Chains A and B, each alone.
Chain A
Amino acid sequence: AQSVSQHNHHVILSEAASLELGCNYSYGGTVNLFWYVQYPGQHLQLLLKYFSGDPLVKGIKGFEAEFIKSKFSFNLRKPSVQWSDTAEYFCAVNAGSSASKIIFGSGTRLSIRP
């Protein structure tokens, strides 16, 4: 069965620190990959997505993610975080014949100290 693993349950950083959130998925075929963000009190929003082409994907608010097929990974990065980045981050995959459904990871809570 397809699955998505996010290794960090809770990450605490100071402002201006660099961020990398890990994401690995299990599926051997073609995948679409996503990072969603949920700010406190708000609904899930798409941060960035990978469908094909350049494996380095740039999203909103300075976030980027790199698809490494050989490692089944899609890690999220940001060079300098801000307090406003405090949120829950979900990695997700849309794969194979089940092109309709998205499989989500369990999420990483990011807390930024001002």
Chain B
Amino acid sequence: GAGVSQSPRYKVAKRGQDVALRCDPISGHVSLFWYQQALGQGPEFLTYFQNEAQLDKSGLPSDRFFAERPEGSVSTLKIQRTQQEDSAVYLCASSLLGRDRHREQYFGPGTRLTVT
């Protein structure tokens, strides 16, 4: 079946512009995660949804970052007034919600955001 998809794959924004990044999780996956991966670093957690509920947004770096998943499927990560330090690869992952904590996450290809 299809994996996690993300669009666009590449985005160039001028500083101060708003951007919206889309994630289509694997069908039936209840949990959805966003990560930010800076060059040469490992992914860093941004936020987590269970269905449409945003249960953890502790990793969002500022109030310019906003994520939503209104129908419990597709999710959008929005960054307002982009800054150069926002340049990174934004990864989306999804997982089945099991009865225990064993949640294997499946990652999408990422969106590479470059802010000029």
Set A42, A102, A106: member contacting B105, Cβ < 8 A: A102
CB neighbours of B91 from chain A (8 A):
43-44
**Number of residues of chain B lying within 8 A (CB) of chain A:** 27
Set B40, B44, B103, B110: member contacting A100, Cβ < 8 A: B103
Would you call A90 and B48 a contact (CB within 8 A)? no
CB neighbours of A101 from chain B (8 A):
33, 45, 48, 56, 59
Q: How far is the CA of A92 from the CA of B41 in the complex (A)?
A: 13
Would you call A106 and B42 a contact (CB within 8 A)? yes
Set A42, A45, A46, A104: member contacting B43, Cβ < 8 A: A104
Of the A-B pairs whose beta carbons lie under 8 Å apart in the complex, a sample of 7, sorted by A's number, is A43-B108, A44-B43, A46-B104, A92-B42, A94-B103, A104-B42, A107-B42
Query: What is B's interface to A at a CB cutoff of 8 Å?
Result: 3, 31, 33, 35, 40-45, 48, 50, 55-56, 59, 91, 93, 101-110
Query: What is A's interface to B at a CB cutoff of 8 Å?
Result: 4, 32, 36, 42-46, 49, 51, 90, 92, 94, 98-107
